[in-house]
Amino acid sequence: MIRELVALSLKFRVLVVGVAVVVMGLGAFQLRDAKVAALPEFSPTIVTVQAEAQGLSAAEVEQFVTTGLEKDLLNGVPWLDHMESTSAAGYVRVDLVFKKGTDALKARQAVQERLTQSFALPAVGTPPVMLQPLSSTSRVMMVGLSAKDLSLTDLSVLARWKIKPRLMGVPGVADVSIWGQRDRQMQVQVDPDRLRAKGVTLGQVISTTGNSLFVSPLNFLEASTPGTGGFVDTSTQRLAIQHVLPVTTAKDLADVTIDDTQGHVLRLGDVADVVTDHQPFLPEVPRGERPGRDQGDRGRAQRSAAGPVRGPDRHPGLPGAVVRRRRGARPRHHRADQPRAAHPGGGPAALLLAAGGDHDDVGAGLGDRRRLRALPAWHGLRPDAARGPGDGALGGDR
Residues facing 129 on adjacent strands: 50
- Pick the last residue of a domain from 130, 163, 196: 130
Q: Is 282 in the same domain as 271? A: no
pLDDT tens digits for 119-159? 888 888 889 999 887 766 667 788 888 888 998 899 999 99
Interval 383-389 mean pLDDT? 37
Confidence at residue 282, expressed as pLDDT on a 0 to 100 scale: 61
Q: Is 378 in the same domain as 285? A: yes
Query: Domain for residue 209, yes or no?
Result: yes
Q: Is 126 in the same domain as 150? A: no
Q: Is 167 in the same domain as 63? A: no
Q: Which residue has the higher pLDDT, 60 or 376?
A: 60
CB 204 within 8 A of CB 270: no
Domain containing 378: what range?
134-184+278-316+344-398
Mean pLDDT of the chain: 73
pLDDT tens digits for 259-296? 887 778 899 999 999 999 988 776 544 444 333 333 33
Query: Domain for residue 243, yes or no?
Result: yes
3-state helix, strand and coil shares in percent for the chain, rounded to the nearest 5:
30, 20, 50
- Pick the last residue of a domain from 247, 275, 303: 275
Confidence at residue 373, expressed as pLDDT on a 0 to 100 scale: 34
Query: Domain for residue 291, yes or no?
Result: yes
Q: Is 228 in the same domain as 306? A: no
Q: Is 248 in the same domain as 271? A: yes
Q: Is 213 in the same domain as 256? A: yes
Angle, alpha carbons 246-249-253 (nearest 5°):
70
98-102, 121-125, 353-357 — most confident range: 98-102
Query: Domain for residue 335, yes or no?
Result: no
179-193, 217-231, 325-339, 374-388 — most confident range: 179-193
Q: Is 286 in the same domain as 296? A: yes
CB 43 within 8 A of CB 95: no
DSSP string spanning 134-174? --TT-EEEEEEE--SSS-HHHHHHHIIIIIHHHHHTSTT--
Confidence at residue 121, expressed as pLDDT on a 0 to 100 scale: 86
Query: Domain for residue 297, yes or no?
Result: yes
**pLDDT band at 29, cuts 50/70/90?**
confident
- The answer to whether the predicted template modeling score (pTM) of the entire model surpasses 0.85 is no
Confidence at residue 347, expressed as pLDDT on a 0 to 100 scale: 42
CATH number of the structural domain spanning residue 254: 3.30.2090.10
- Pick the last residue of a domain from 254, 275, 296: 275
Q: Is 158 in the same domain as 194? A: no
Question: What total number of domains does the chain contain?
Answer: 3
Is the pLDDT at 111 greater than 90, yes or no? yes
Q: Is 174 in the same domain as 61? A: no
Query: Domain for residue 5, yes or no?
Result: no
Q: Is 298 in the same domain as 348? A: yes
Q: Is 291 in the same domain as 271? A: no
Percentage of the chain surpassing pLDDT 90? 32
pLDDT tens digits for 330-347? 344 433 333 333 333 334
